[in-house]
Chain A
Amino acid sequence: QKEVEQDPGPLSVPEGAIVSLNCTYSNSAFQYFMWYRQYSRKGPELLMYTYSSGNKEDGRFTAQVDKSSKYISLFIRDSQPSDSATYLCAMSVRGGAQKLVFGQGTRLTINP
């Protein structure tokens, strides 16, 4: 079993839809949770970062963490064609420069 599981998709939705992306994990020592967006042939860019259970909102993006269920989500509201990319969840244990463990990535397409 992989430490982090993420549905690779692909996921295709119409413009304006609410998108839900999810990851589950097995290592209860994970304390930091991140969502990255990666456009084709580019490096990942950080979208959201959180370390506690609950919701964190930033514009159209909401990150949700449920440590009791070992489940994290990213919601995108009012999705735009420019949101079309691969979304990667990543997590690490506490303490400085620890290794990031990535999910497989979900390919998302927003259709105009």
Chain B
Amino acid sequence: GAVVSQHPSRVICKSGTSVKIECRSLDFQATTMFWYRQFPKKSLMLMATSNEGSKATYEQGVEKDKFLINHASLTLSTLTVTSAHPEDSSFYICSPYGGNYGYTFGSGTRLTVV
């Protein structure tokens, strides 16, 4: 089946620093990558959609300069939270789409900004 690797699973960083989250599709090629944010006891909120080699398309209200998405290859996408603030603390989930697997999901990254 589809294997998705998302790292780190948990990260704590200081305010003002940047954090990079990696998402890899290990056994299929992800033509499209979705990045979600999830608040406690809430549903998934789509942040952005990216296609390999193209700029990401951000949802309304999501700051593209704060949440940098790179989808340089069909098996790797990264989300960088720049100049992190405590309000950026959340659960971030990647969702590679491709091959015969359709929509798949990473295991999520819990970001805490102190």
- Interface on A for B, CB 8 Å cutoff? 8, 34, 36, 41-46, 49, 88, 90, 96-97, 99-100, 102-105, 107
Mostly helix, strand, loop or mixed at chain A's interface? loop
**B105 at interface (Cβ–Cβ under 8 A)?**
yes
**B75 at interface (Cβ–Cβ under 8 A)?**
no
Among A36, A44, A100, chain B packs the most CB atoms within 10 A around the CB of A44
Contact call B49/A99, Cβ cutoff below 8 A: yes
Contact call A104/B105, Cβ cutoff below 8 A: no
* A88 in contact with B43 given A34-B103, A43-B105, A99-B49 (CB within 8 Å): yes
Q: How many A-B residue pairs lie within 8 Å, measured between CB atoms?
A: 47
User: 10 tightest CB-CB pairs across the interface, nearest first?
Assistant: A97-B32, A43-B105, A97-B97, A43-B107, A102-B43, A43-B108, A104-B43, A44-B105, A105-B43, A102-B44
Complexed CA–CA distance, A97 and B52 (Å): 13
Q: 27 interchain pairs (CB within 8 A)? A: A8-B41, A34-B103, A36-B105, A41-B108, A42-B107, A43-B4, A43-B6, A43-B93, A43-B107, A43-B108, A44-B44, A46-B103, A49-B102, A88-B44, A90-B103, A97-B31, A97-B32, A97-B49, A99-B46, A99-B49, A100-B34, A100-B46, A100-B95, A100-B103, A102-B44, A103-B43, A107-B41
Complexed CA–CA distance, A45 and B108 (Å): 12
Contacts of A36 in B (CB 8 A): 105
B61 to chain A, nearest CB (A): 15
Query: When each residue 50-65 of chain B gets 1 if its CB lies under 8 Å from chain A and 0 otherwise, what string results?
Result: 0000000000000000
Complexed CA–CA distance, A88 and B34 (Å): 17
Contacts of A102 in B (CB 8 A): 43-44
Complexed CA–CA distance, A104 and B42 (Å): 6
Complexed CA–CA distance, A34 and B104 (Å): 12
A74 to chain B, nearest CB (A): 16
Contact call A42/B103, Cβ cutoff below 8 A: no
Among B43, B46, B95, chain A packs the most CB atoms within 10 A around the CB of B43
Query: When each residue 26-38 of chain B gets 1 if its CB lies under 8 Å from chain A and 0 otherwise, what string results?
Result: 0000011010000
